[in-house]
A and B are shown apart, each in its own frame.
Chain A
Amino acid sequence: MSTEVTASAEPGTGDTDRGVASVIERCRAEGRAALVGYLPVGFPDVETSIRAMVAMVESGVDIVEIGLPYSDPVIDGPVIQRATEAALRAGTHVVDGFRAARAVRDAGAPPLVMSYWNLILRRGVDRYAAELAAAGGAGLITPDLIPDEAADWIAASDREGLDRVFLVAPSSTPERLSRVTAASRGFVYAASTMGVTGERASVGPAARDLVERTRALTELPVCVGLGVSNGDQAAELAEYADGVIVGTAFVRALTGDGQDGDVEARLEAVRELARDLARGVRERRQS
């Protein structure tokens, strides 16, 4: 079965294997959900962030979401805000995302860049898409770009064979779900709760309802994000989602508990979290 379903356009002339479809397909074949791990590039510095992304891949993360730090991150909660502010203060640039993408691809996982739209717009949508593809990138997750505003990006991603991951939310109407799923490629990102990124004690029934409503409209995989912080929560989501997206918990692990300087301990915390989540997505547990 193919997961390359797009209603908006042909896949184009690019290398369609660049995207995440084959990885999610493989996870499905293994009877489990895919594990998607987020870290912002440049936190605490570019080198360490890339090492941490590679460590995630080595410890069981299937797809890496590389965040580009942005001055006005309206969908991020306090933990990721603090990390991306620090990354910007440390002089992180948009091009550092390409280095991270190359490293993640070389480590064996497809890298998706998560970026607020103005950074892509400023570089030029066509130029960015070509550079990302050349760096081994799998595509873009765009939290503040809706398909209605995305004509340039849809054309560029078709041309380069890049995935375009748009978001759906519990508030999404059937019309919006149709529009978003039709424009998406790779997977659909279901934001489990109404709110910003961050860990939550429970992801809640809204996520399951949203996944079911989305699935009714598309054959694309549906991955769930916002709020997951441990293997047990991942297991609950894996019961009904094609992928589980974890961000804030990884950032917190890499932030450490005020243990300045002990980078190796923080990288080990990232590995440990990845292993726990990788166990979770293989368990599939009734919530």
Chain B
Amino acid sequence: MTAGRFGDFGGRYVPEALIPALDELDEARRSAMADPTFLDELDRLHRTYTGRPSIITEVPRFAEHAGGARIILKREDLNHTGSHKINNVLAQALLTKRMGKTRVIAETGAGQHGVATATAAALMGLDCTVYMGKVDTERQALNVARMRMLGAEVVPVDHGSATLKDAINEALRDWVAAVDTTHYLIGTVTGPHPFPEMVRDFHRIIGVEAREQVLEHTGRLPDVVVACVGGGSNAMGIFHRFIEDEGVRLVGVEAGGEGLEGRHAARFASATPGVLHGAMSYLMQDEDGQTVESHSVSAGLDYPSVGPEHSYLRDTGRAEYVYATDDEAMEAFALLCRTEGIIPALESAHGLAGALHLGRELGPDAIILVNLSGRGDKDMHTAAEWFGLVDDVVEDDEIVPPGESDDPGATGDGRTQL
């Protein structure tokens, strides 16, 4: 058993050339997490830049549709840049400076982590390159412009399937060649050790705050904590503080896409353990071990593997994993908009769909805490198409791109953001 394992999962399946950089990073983050100067600086950024602590909001009108259970949202959507991603990005950017490196690189599915990384790089004066599947750059031209506005270089990746996993491959290639000056700012709880553990720790604040807030608001712990799971960073962030609270169920909601008969990203419902991007975890793969492409209406959940600690929590039974289809997620998305005046990210809408099911199962005495990991402004194009809100505009390619591509590898839907 090597360092950085969660049971059988995790590890370091990367070229030898990267091992010294991973060791350096591991040492740097350990010393930083024990250094009051680093922690104070991070805390100051959380308060004065991100807007932490994020609030909780109870949503009774939404909860009427969930068997009357009490539903409480942790509002990561209110953070600067619009999602939980900023928690990890600011911390890793500080670490980058601490290691004396001057450049960060990042992957992004369709923009959210890329924008957060470009934001932190601008704030701290770091060079920034973001790798993004070419299909996604075309469908997310506005986000490419946002990143460039913030001073980042955006590199379209046009080989493989030209989507998120290929953007990660290209970022890894860049990192091997430029590791002396460059930190790879991975955006979720996957990749080689120490990334899964480190990114989790940088998001742990979500659960620490929420646990205290729910206790204060309701006088007790929630019965269930629910979060969507793509790579799984927002879920690890809110779960981790509750792991030792044995009475609290932890439920991760994967993207069921078109349903298990069609294309989807429900790894735990269908996949077997394997290695991708440096970590052993559940992986959608064919008989030969080639990666199978995933699909979700939400690009942030559209990834064929999942953070290794989730695999461990699943196999040990501490957390449960369910999935919500595109239809169910869109229904929950619309419901929160119309009952509470909150437009959630499509990713987070999967968590809401899970909460609707759980509430009906548990009844009115239950308290369900949902991580509202991001806001949905970015998803308006998908929503407009889905619900037919702007049919007079959809015809105009100049204003609303079709969200389709001739590229045979473009099986995902890149109109939303990671």
Contacts and interface: CB of A to CB of B under 8 A. Distances in A.
Contacts of B183: none
A195 B182 CA distance: 13
For chain B, give the interface size range: 35 or more
Given A72-B276, A122-B289, A123-B289, A168 B16 contact: yes
A172 interface: yes
Contact of B17 (A81, A145, A148, A171): A171
Interface string B135-166: 00000000000000000000000011000011
A144 B277 CA distance: 10
A149 interface: yes
Interface stretch (B6-14, B58-66, B358-366): B6-14
B15 A75 contact: yes
Nearest to A143: B15
B17 A191 contact: yes
Contact of B159 (A85, A93, A119, A121): A85
Contacts of B179: 171, 194
A73 interface: yes
Contacts of B11: 149
Interface in A34-81: 70-75, 77-78, 81
A173 B23 CA distance: 11
Nearest to B408: A89
Interface residues of A, number: 41
B288 A122 contact: yes
Interface of B, secondary structure class, is mixed
B176 interface: yes
A253 interface: no
Contacts of A170: 17
A173 B20 contact: yes
Given A74-B173, A88-B290, A122 B159 contact: no
A176 interface: yes
A63 B354 CA distance: 56
Interface in B6-34: 11-21
A263 interface: no
A182 interface: no
A166 interface: yes
B16 A166 contact: yes
Given A88-B290, A118-B276, A82 B159 contact: yes
Contacts of A195: 173, 176-177
B193 to A, nearest CB: 10
27 contacts: A74-B172, A77-B173, A82-B159, A85-B159, A88-B290, A93-B288, A117-B13, A118-B13, A118-B276, A119-B289, A120-B289, A121-B274, A144-B13, A144-B15, A145-B13, A146-B12, A148-B12, A167-B15, A169-B15, A171-B179, A172-B17, A172-B20, A176-B19, A180-B16, A194-B177, A194-B178, A195-B177
Closest 8 CB pairs of A and B: A122-B289, A169-B17, A195-B177, A119-B289, A71-B290, A71-B291, A118-B275, A118-B289
Given A122-B288, A171-B179, 17 more contacts: A71-B160, A72-B169, A72-B277, A74-B15, A78-B159, A82-B159, A85-B160, A88-B290, A121-B274, A167-B15, A171-B17, A172-B20, A173-B20, A176-B19, A180-B16, A191-B15, A196-B173
